[in-house]
Amino acid sequence: MNTRTTPSPSRSPASDQLRAPYAEALLAHAERDWLRLNVPGHAAAPSSGLAGFFGSRVTDLDFPPLLDGIDLGPDTPLDEALALAARAWGARRTWFLTNGASQGNQIASMVTPALGRTLVVQRSVHSSVVDGLVLSGLDAVFVQPSVDPVQGIAHGVTAKDVAEALDRTPDAAAVYIVSPSYFGAVADVRAIADAAHTAGVPLIVDEAWGSHFGIHPALPAGALSLGADLVTSSTHKLAGSLTQSAMLHLGEGPFADRLEPLVDRAFRLVQSTSASALLTASLDLARRALVVGADRITGSVEAADKVRGVIRALGRFAVVSDGFHRFPDITRADPLRIAIDTRAGGITGHEARRLLFRDHQIMVEVATDAAIVAVIGAGSAPDSDRFTEALHCLPSPLIGAGADAAVRAPLSLPRPGPARLTAREAFLSPALVVPAEEAVGMVSADTLAAYPPGIPNVLPGEVITAETVDFLRRTAAAPGGHVRGAHDPAVARLRVVAP
């Protein structure tokens, strides 16, 4: 007797399975007439070398790793591409990353325990550096950045402050700073490198926003040329590769022999075994476009200068970088970042960003309570007139008798609470979720960062303050506001270390 069952006829998929909601939304978004003043640096330009290379062949080019003649064997094209990138940025060695500059920051944090027990680190680093502290288990001594009280933004640190932190940290492993900042402030990397080397430790620079530095005479010098030992470069931001692609550069400094094998091992630990050929190719193409087409960067700088000139001439808004001279930690400003004080013109940065997006199809990179930041990719030349005209068409709800005083008051950047545990200890400790008001005075188990830009306002192990809770909740309530790492979107509850 045949007991085999007859296969049931194939069923038609449920109607909801016929949709691809994310892909459909992305396609619809791309079909609008956007003016892109945000990352990635290629800004989806039809004339981009990426568009010409990938075109309709994306699926044809999406190969896995470990292919003979591409990335497997001696002297491969990948090896050649890495060597060309190292030469372009003045590195002893370069690694291509396919999980963003965050991956580079994590690698850098993971290798430092071989050099000491405590990382001397700028407090306003990106949250991925804090993630690296959780992974590495290092203690941290934080160097506080200068803060613009009017704008409520953090800048950089001075060599003097770094040297003082090193003097009180005998077991220092390295110094970790950010340059340039989200607002384009460039630190005195040379002086900070000298301070670190005098203390016998390397300098690691998160140069995520400066991947274009050193390529053109109108741009600031790159951190490697100023003495940095290890540099994270978010190539997709302004240098033109695809989103999530980045580089990690090792300098030719006194710590290169010690760091190179450590970085190589850590890279293999966190790099996907299925690294994207598309992302890797985009890094190679971005390097070529920057070096060969450096003259096009002249047009990018001129476009940014034109925007700043119009803003100064019309007088309603203010250019944030015009006030950088007041801060001793700032040596230059990135000319491709246009930071605009919108509160001076009667509108918050969050509201300006929302209206530019909704009513003018203009995307800017960063919004805070007081400002917006537009970016121009190296080699791009966007329609600056369209941006300045739309900007000056925005309403001024903060000006006039009808404006509420509480709304007019700027949102100040809160000072962090004291640290009670290391980031790793707090992250791995038993935790509770409590109402935000009850969390005041307790130790945070999470990294909480108003995003963008992603600088942590609270670190794991730090005491949560009432000022910080108010700042995060007001940020979350603003149009487009988001707090990275929050337990819930409204920051109504927070995760704290159990007593």
The tens digit of pLDDT for each residue in 262-272 reads: 999 999 999 99
Given a cut of 80, whether residue 46 has pLDDT beyond it is no
Strands (E), 13-83: 35-37
In 375-402, which positions are buried (b, 16+ CB within 10 angstroms) versus exposed (e)? bbbbbbbbebeebbebbeebeeebeeee
Residue-averaged pLDDT of the chain: 91
Supply the DSSP symbol for 300: H
pLDDT in tens, 192-245: 999 999 999 999 999 999 999 999 999 999 999 999 999 999 999 999 999 999
Q: What is the mean pLDDT of residues 52-64?
A: 85
Asked if 380 and 37 touch (Cβ cutoff 8 Å), the reply is no
Given a cut of 70, whether residue 440 has pLDDT beyond it is yes
From the list 153, 359, 489, the residue with the least C-alpha distance to 481 is 489
What is d(CA 302, CA 341) in angstroms, rounded to the nearest whole number? 20
From the list 382, 294, 295, the residue with the least C-alpha distance to 338 is 382
Q: What is the largest CA-CA distance in the chain?
A: 93
Given a cut of 90, whether residue 452 has pLDDT beyond it is no
Residues with Cβ within 8 Å of residue 341, at least 6 apart in sequence = 150, 151, 317, 318, 319, 320, 370, 371
Q: Comparing 39-48, 93-102, 271-280, which segment has the lowest mean pLDDT?
A: 39-48
Q: What is the mean pLDDT of residues 283-297?
A: 90
Given a cut of 80, whether residue 366 has pLDDT beyond it is yes
Asked if 157 and 187 touch (Cβ cutoff 8 Å), the reply is yes
Full 3-state SS string of 252-296: CCCCHHHHHHHHHHHHHHHCCCCCCHHHHHHHHHHHHHHHHCCHH
Tokens coding 35: 């003016």
Pairing assessment for the beta strands 35-37 and 362-364 based on DSSP bridges: parallel
Give the strands of the sheet with 172-178, arranged side by side: 93-97, 246-250, 230-233, 203-206, 172-178, 118-122, 139-143
Q: What is the mean pLDDT of residues 296-311?
A: 96
What is d(CA 224, CA 222) in angstroms, rounded to the nearest whole number? 6
Given a cut of 80, whether residue 134 has pLDDT beyond it is yes
> Which of 224-228, 367-371, 474-478 ranks highest by mean pLDDT?
224-228
Radius of gyration of the chain (CA): 24
The domains of the chain, with CATH numbers, are 59-292 (3.40.640.10), 295-408 (3.90.1150.10), 423-497 (3.90.100.10)
Q: What is the mean pLDDT of residues 285-294?
A: 89
Total Cβ atoms within 10 A of residue 318: 20
